[in-house]
Amino acid sequence: MFDRIGSFVPVLRWARTYSRHSLSNDLIAAVIVTIMLIPQSLAYALLAGLPPEAGIYASIVPILLYAIFGTSNALAVGPVAVVSLMTAAAIGQVADQGTMGYAVAALTLALLSGVILLAMGVFRLGFLANFLSHPVIAGFITASGILIAASQLKHILGIPAGGHTLVEMVEGLVTNIGATNPVTLVIGAAATAFLFWVRKGLKPALVRLGMPAGAAGVATKAGPVAAVFVTTLAVWALGLEARGVAIVGAVPQSLPPLTMPSLSPDLLGALLVPALLISIIGFVESISVAQTLAAKKRQRIDPDQELIGLGAANIGAAFTGGYPVTGGFARSVVNFDAGAETPAAGAFTALGLGIAAVALTPLVYFLPQATLAATIIVAVLSLVDFSILKKTWTYSKADFFAVAATVILTLGFGVELGVSAGVVLSIMLHLYKTSRPHVAEVGVVPGTQHFRNINRHRVETDPSLLTLRVDESLYFFNARFLDDILQDRLAGDHGISNVVLMCSAVNEIDYSALESLEAINHRLKDLGVGFHLSEVKGPVMDRLKTAHFLEELNGEVFLSQYDAWRALSRARHVPDGAPAI
């Protein structure tokens, strides 16, 4: 009974074996991740069009809830760049930024996302994320990274600009470029250059100076904190606010408040599709990170339980002043590298952020928004990977066009259309590939009982016997394709007296495919041609036995293709060393 409850509440499992050693490692990881998350959470909240404190709030209760219900020991849940951008695009259509309605819409979006994720977990629908192919996801994230970076240039320049597409953003920047604030530009450019150098050059520099590699890595992760400290101090000491430098301003000095999402049918209806897209993208990103990190320690991630953990985290964000959250790549890797052993590291991180929300928020009053923009730009540009275009062009033209279309649509029409197109293109690509399965005519390899493609290997065939190997399960959308291939092959060859369908790669035959096989059987019977099956898998045979197909089959079902060859081939050739039948 306890184990069954523990499968739904994983904290009950790992807490029983929690040790002092794990506590020490989790505390160290939590301190490092907390330092990283403070500026990052503020920045992502601004990216979502929300007050900076919303980022802190979205990083406290959600992390605690994930620690209870999640299965990853290293996944760090909270605001991420892509979801923040999608949040801004979604709620920007139903409310004006800076209004109470905008904040309520963000809470409602988090609630909807949480309910969707929770429902998917309860009904074990984690497999639905597979409808988004990895190349399409990579294309969407690359395009989103460009959009996010472009959206932050206005803060670097200190000018007003807007837009949800790359064209709109560039147009806004060009139109207002003359109003650039020189002081803001200096701060933003310097912070961006420093953060880029920190990513690539700080750790090697510290190691050369004699610092241990581990400590140098920690110092590198704390780079954004240094940028925040220096630029905040400069704005305060030099009075740069009076010179037009935009600052974060007053941030409430409190723990996350109790908030209430709107249950208005109109608002719920308007946000339902964006919430579904955010849920899918967030889950795909989160599960990819969690499984990658778990594999390094030979641990197991339960995708359906991850849905429940992420769902609980988003519902928690909805009632504590946050917005949609998911597992972040950068913070999770930092958490893993810092030595996190259990989800308790996330709980300690939440505790650290809670202390920061109560005691440290006055210190960010003079934090320039240009520094937060620099933090975002440096973080998201690491997500941009145009090599996926070259890789897919070389490997699969269909995948390339799907990726290219996703990138172009995201940049040209915004993230919602981009991710929607990605989902549709992923499904269409799968249907296209499976609707035209690879069907090979096979013959026996001399001296063996193996059958291979006649166009790839030197094999023996019998003019009276046609064997087709179908390398795909048979469904309603590809059954007609097999029928067409068979008709084309028989149309020009009147010497064929038997046809064998080799089913070694067929894992499923649905009812539409069954009807197509029945039609093929009747057609071949009318032509005086035997229709046979070979190497049918047990589950497929069990399904066929429930219908009348086997009773009406104009031929036999052979255990192996070699048995069919021996029984039906006029040559009746016996390979050397093969047993006689």
Distance separating alpha carbons of residues 246 and 519, to the nearest angstrom:
73
Whether 268 and 113 have beta carbons less than 8 Å apart is answered as no
Residue whose pair of structure tokens reads 């941009």 in the numeric block: 384
Those residues with Cβ within 8 angstroms of residue 495's Cβ, 6 or more apart along the chain or in another chain:
463, 464
Number of residues assigned to the chain: 581
Burial of 4 (0-12, 13-18, 19+ CB in 10 A): exposed
Taking the domains of the chain in order of start, what are their residue ranges? 10-428, 439-568
Residue 410, φ and ψ in degrees, nearest 5: -65, -45
Task: Kindly report the number of other CB atoms within 10 A of residue 437's CB atom.
Answer: 19
Query: Would you write out the chain's pLDDT as a tens digit for each of its 581 residues?
Result: 445 565 678 888 888 888 888 888 898 888 888 887 888 899 899 889 999 999 999 999 999 999 999 999 889 899 998 899 899 989 998 999 888 899 999 999 999 999 999 999 999 887 776 667 778 888 888 888 899 899 899 999 999 887 878 999 999 999 999 999 999 999 999 999 998 898 888 888 888 888 887 777 767 777 788 888 899 999 999 999 999 999 988 888 899 999 999 999 999 999 999 999 899 888 988 888 888 788 777 777 888 999 999 999 999 999 999 999 999 877 887 788 777 889 999 999 999 999 999 988 888 899 999 998 998 888 888 878 888 899 999 998 888 888 898 899 989 988 878 877 877 887 887 778 788 888 999 999 999 999 999 999 999 999 999 999 999 999 888 888 888 888 888 887 678 999 999 999 999 999 999 999 999 999 999 989 999 999 999 999 999 999 999 999 999 999 999 999 999 987 554 444 444 33
Task: Kindly report the number of other CB atoms within 10 A of residue 217's CB atom.
Answer: 19
pTM of whole model > 0.75? yes
Distance separating alpha carbons of residues 105 and 50, to the nearest angstrom:
11
Residue 452, φ and ψ in degrees, nearest 5: -135, 165
- 435, two tokens: 């609707």
Give Cα 252 to chain centroid, integer Å.
Answer: 34
Superfamily of domain 439-568: STAS domain (3.30.750.24)
93-96 own/partner pairs: CB under 8 Å, 24+ apart: 93/270, 94/267, 94/270, 94/271
Q: What is the dihedral of CA 332, 335, 341, 347, to 10 degrees?
A: -90
Whether 113 and 327 have beta carbons less than 8 Å apart is answered as no
Whether 44 and 232 have beta carbons less than 8 Å apart is answered as no
